[in-house]
Amino acid sequence: QVQLVQSGGEVKKPGASVRVSCTASGYTFTSYDINWVRQATGQGLEWMGWMNPNSGNKAYAQKFQGRVNMTRNTSISTVYLELSSLKSEDTAVYYCARRRTKGYIGPRREREYSFDYWGQGTLVTVSS
Amino acid sequence: QSVLTQPPSASGTPGQRVTISCSGGSSNIGSNTVNWYQRLPGTAPKLLIYTNNQRPSGVPDRFSGSKSGTSASLAISGLQSEDEADYYCAAWDDSLYAYVFGTGTKVTVL
């Protein structure tokens, strides 16, 4: 069965960097984009960006430009999220999620974009 | 800040029908498909509805989605205690070039 397993929780000081891993199994790793989503306590879900594990192509939400980097290691079916210059506001649970499919639907060519499998989440705590 | 607006809360008694609205704009809901996620306490979000009204395998048919113009809605019929969770709508936004989530709605079963 499809699984996304993330690395364990992290505690970091402000200004530091953190790297979270997401290891996929149960499907062809290079066939589906991986996205990252976070949720701070009491807040809603926030999309951070996506990566194509096959090509290495990626794109980030504007809010995180310059601070985020997504990489992958295809030999171990793993995608990494690295976030730098951490602030207390970055304290959140970080999720990786597999994009269900790519493409456009219907005569109006609506973009289909959804996540069918999620990792268990990684709590990153930023505190001095 | 979220660009998709949902009511913060909704509630109903077991067996009732509950509807959650999601209001967006021409660059997101108006142009792309809408999805709904359920987040049970302490768990990762789960895809509930994709492509406006499609249910993934295993999702009960009590859950249904619809879209009209720049708004969408999720209906839960025959509300059950295990439906108590947070629900989020989402869609791609062509102007932001980003995937945007709704503000979230907490459903309480009375």
Closest CA to B98 of A99, A101, A48, A4: A48
Range B57-81 average pLDDT:
97
Q: Taking 90 as the threshold, does the pLDDT of residue A82 lie above it?
A: yes
Burial class (CB in 10 A: 0-12, 13-18, 19+), A75: exposed
Render pLDDT for A89-116 as a digit per residue (tens, 0 to 9).
999 999 999 999 888 988 889 999 999 9
Q: Across the interface, which of B31, B32, B44 has its CB nearest the CB of A120?
A: B44
For residue A64, which phi and psi values (nearest 5 degrees)?
Answer: -105, 0
User: Does residue A82 sit at the B interface (CB-CB below 8 Å)?
Assistant: no
Asked whether the beta carbons of residue B51 and residue A112 sit closer than 8 angstroms, the reply is: yes
Range B96-106 average pLDDT:
97
Own/partner pairs, B64-71, CB within 8 angstroms, 24+ separation = B65/B34, B65/B36, B67/B29, B67/B33, B67/B34, B69/B29, B69/B30, B70/B23, B70/B24, B70/B25, B70/B26, B70/B28, B70/B29, B70/B30, B71/B21, B71/B22, B71/B23, B71/B24, B71/B29
Range B19-36 average pLDDT:
97
Q: How far apart are CA B37 and CA B6, in angstroms?
A: 13
Q: Which of A24-38, A103-117, B26-40 has the lowest mean pLDDT?
A: A103-117
Q: Taking 80 as the threshold, does the pLDDT of residue A51 lie above it?
A: yes
Q: How far apart are CA A120 and CA A123, in angstroms?
A: 10
pLDDT of residue B1: 62
Contacts with B32 from chain A: Cβ below 8 Å: 110-113
Contacts with A121 from chain B: Cβ below 8 Å: 44
pLDDT of residue A101: 84
User: Does residue A42 sit at the B interface (CB-CB below 8 Å)?
Assistant: no
User: Does residue B31 sit at the A interface (CB-CB below 8 Å)?
Assistant: yes
Measured in angstroms, the CA of A118 and the nearest CA of chain B are apart by 7
